[in-house]
Amino acid sequence: MVIKDGYETKRLVSLWAIVKPFRARAFLGMSALSGLLYFKGKLQQIKPDKENENPLDDDNTRAELDIALTFLEENCIELGLTASVATIKKLKGCLAEGKHKNQKLYPLGDELQGRLIDEMDGKSLWSLTIAEAEYYSNPKKGWEEAVNRFPTAISDVEEASKCFALSRYAACIYHSIQVVEAGLIELGKFISVEDPKSGWTAVANKLKKIISKKYEDRTDFEKQNFEFLVQVQGTVEALKNAWRNKISHVEGRLILVTKDFSPEVAEEILFATRAFMRRLANGLPQH
């Protein structure tokens, strides 16, 4: 619930907006660093270093370790590993206190290793392929022209791409439908659709009617924009073929009639939707 200007309004929050990225490379670095400190500590118990043999007495080494710990801390914060963050702060504190505190570092390395294991044990992680990660991380890629021309569709464009990346194919199609609706509303205004429930059916029928006219029967407006309208109508037909028997037209609007979508079908509809919106963005004049 959001309070604005003294009124309560509802806001839909996407589940995918709270999905946290997990950087495997960073985690490997975290494991390597904590493991290094851990085994160094065990070695110290067996054979303590002499003062001039301790690598942590070197200022450059200590500076590099502090940078590595900062990186490790940032990633733990992002993953919500609060106990590990607390231990990292102790380690950084030891570094800041000076060389005479070197021996305190190694037990903390042991502690950090255990905390990372315990906290990560409570996490469930899913991985994306390179292609899926691209859809999720750059949801507007390929849609630039469309979202610039139709900013009201930005949210659904992003959700469609992210849902596809996360294998939520019915949700991907739902948001694709919403994107198409945004374009159809603008197209309906352009071709002067008179149906009060301007939507898919009304716009598609009007386009078909215009394209079917003989040249001499077309209005000046239709003659002037005929090439654009032919191309748009062809894209509309491609959309119809892509979602045949999967999406229905009810009172001029588009609704899902099944939730059983394969990744191939979802991607086909997503691509067809993008082509439709791109064509509109390039050819539809601003009102």
Residue ranges per structural domain of the chain: 23-121, 130-283
pLDDT one-digit tens code per residue, 22-55: 666 666 666 666 666 655 555 555 555 554 455 5
Q: Which of 33-37, 152-156, 264-268 has the lowest mean pLDDT?
A: 33-37
Asked whether 111 and 85 are in contact (CB, 8 A), the reply is no
Q: Which residues have CB under 8 Å from 255's CB, separation 6+?
A: 177, 247, 248, 249
Taking the whole predicted model, whether its pTM rises above 0.75 is answered as no
What are the structure tokens assigned to 83, written together? 């106990």
Whether the per-residue pLDDT at 227 is higher than 80: the answer is: yes
* pLDDT at position 197 over 90: no
Instruction: Read off the pLDDT of residues 158-177 as tens digits, 9 standing for 90 and up.
Output: 999 999 999 999 889 889 98
Query: How far is residue 62's CA from residue 98's CA, in Å, rounded to a whole number?
Result: 9
